[in-house]
Structures are given as C-alpha cells and as structure tokens.
Amino acid sequence: MAIPTTSIAHVRLTVTDIEQSRRFYDSVFGWPVLVEVPAGADAATRAALAFLYGGVIYDLGGTLIGLRPVGTDRFDEDRTGLDHLCFRLTSRTELEAAAAHLDSLGITHEPVKDIGPAYVLEFRDPDNIALELTAPTRAGGG
C-alpha cells in the first residue's frame, strides 16, 4: 500500500550562520515566524524549544520552513540530499517583481527563464542553497 500523503508539512534547511540566514529569509520572503526561542528565555522555555536547535520555523500558511544552524559546510546540490527548493508564484509579472526585489537587496539571481510549462527565477541563499521561484506559463497552466 502507498502512503497517502496530501502535501509537504515542513522542510528544515541547515545553515551555517542563523543570524545571516534570518536576515536573508526575512528580507527576501518576509514570512511570519511560527516559533523561535525568545531572547532571554529561561531554561524551561529553552528545554521546551530544544527541537529548534537554535533555529526558527516560518509559517507559509500550512507549510513550514525551518532554519537550523549547524557547522561550517556550505550547500552543494551535487551531493546526495537536496537539489533545490522552489516556491510557486502566480504569474510572470510576480516573478519580474521578485527579481526587482532581489536586485534591491543586492542578491544575485539568474534572469527569469521560460522553460516551457513554467517560468523560473533562480538564486541562492547565504549558504549557497539553490532556491527557485516559479510561475506557470499561459501554455503550461501549472
């Protein structure tokens, strides 16, 4: 029997510098924080939130994205694990606005590309994690 999943519940990315990654993800996406260890938290609160490993969890309206600080190794999509993470937008106009937003933040990115069924905009986070934004082409619809 196949396991009847309905969607992705969460993804946690490992990062080298939580403060740098927080600044990046906050400025690029502006997602609301679901949970993090509050500044000045007592020992009981820190123990209760130990599953965060000093990171943060964002809420994208049902799907959660977490950042967890670890070591110094940078991301490489040519190793086993993650290739890239892609977020859906609704139109090429939104992708062009996203590209302008990345430009305003000084974040290097590829141009918006038409790959047939979708447009994509590729860029990387401070740990070199490959990120994409995508939107359907009129022909592709999805």
The confidence score (pLDDT) of residue 137 equals 92
Provide the strand spans (E) within the chain. Answer: 10-15, 33-36, 56-59, 64-69, 85-88, 113-114, 118-124, 130-136
- Candidates 1.10.760.10, 3.10.180.10, 3.30.460.10, 2.40.40.20; CATH matching 78-142: 3.10.180.10
Kindly report the pTM of this predicted structure: 0.89
Alpha-carbon distance of 57 to 47, in angstroms, equals 16
How does 36-50 read in b/e, with b if 16+ C-beta sit within 10 Å?
A: bbeeeeeeeeeeebe
Question: What's the CATH fold of domain 1-73?
Answer: 2,3-Dihydroxybiphenyl 1,2-Dioxygenase; domain 1 (3.10.180)
Q: Do 78-142 and 1-73 have the same topology in CATH?
A: yes
Q: What is the pLDDT of residues 3-44, one digit of tens each?
A: 888 889 999 999 999 999 999 999 999 999 999 999 999 999
The confidence score (pLDDT) of residue 139 equals 57
